[in-house]
Amino acid sequence: MKSPLLAIMLTLSAAFPAVADVLKIKKDAPKQYVVKKGDTLWDISGIYLDEPWLWPELWQMNPQIDNPHLIYPGDALALIYDADGNPRLVINKGYRKLSPQGRITPKGRNAITTLPLEMIKPYISYEQAMNSDDIKGKPYILGANENTKTQTLGHILYAKGDLQVHKAYAIYHKGDAYTDLTGEVLATRASYVGIARAFRAGDEHNGVPSSLRVESVKREIQQGDFLMPAMEGQMLP
pLDDT of residue 142: 92
pLDDT (0 to 100) of residue 199: 95
Q: What share of the chain is helix, strand, coil (3-state, %, to 5)?
A: 15, 30, 50
**pLDDT classification of 2: cutoffs 50, 70, 90:** very low
Exposure of 12 in the CB half-sphere (CA atoms within 13 A): 14
Check pLDDT > 60 for residue 97: no
Q: Is the pTM of this model over 0.85?
A: no
| Number of C-beta neighbours around residue 205 at 10 A | 6
Most confident of 3-7, 8-12, 148-152, 197-201: 197-201
pLDDT at 94 over 50: yes
Residue 42 CB-density burial (10 A; 0-12 exposed, 13-18 middle, 19+ buried): middle
> For a pLDDT cut of 70, what percent of the chain falls above it?
66
Give the pLDDT confidence of 61-93 residue by residue, as tens digits: 454 544 545 677 888 888 887 777 778 878 775
What is the pLDDT confidence band of residue 9, given thresholds at 50, 70 and 90?
A: very low
- What does R_g of the chain's alpha carbons equal in angstroms? 22
Cα–Cα–Cα angle for 122, 143, 225, nearest 5°? 50
- For the stretch 26-67, pLDDT in tens is 888 898 888 888 887 778 888 888 887 777 777 764 545 445
**Domain locations in the chain as residue ranges:** 32-123, 128-235
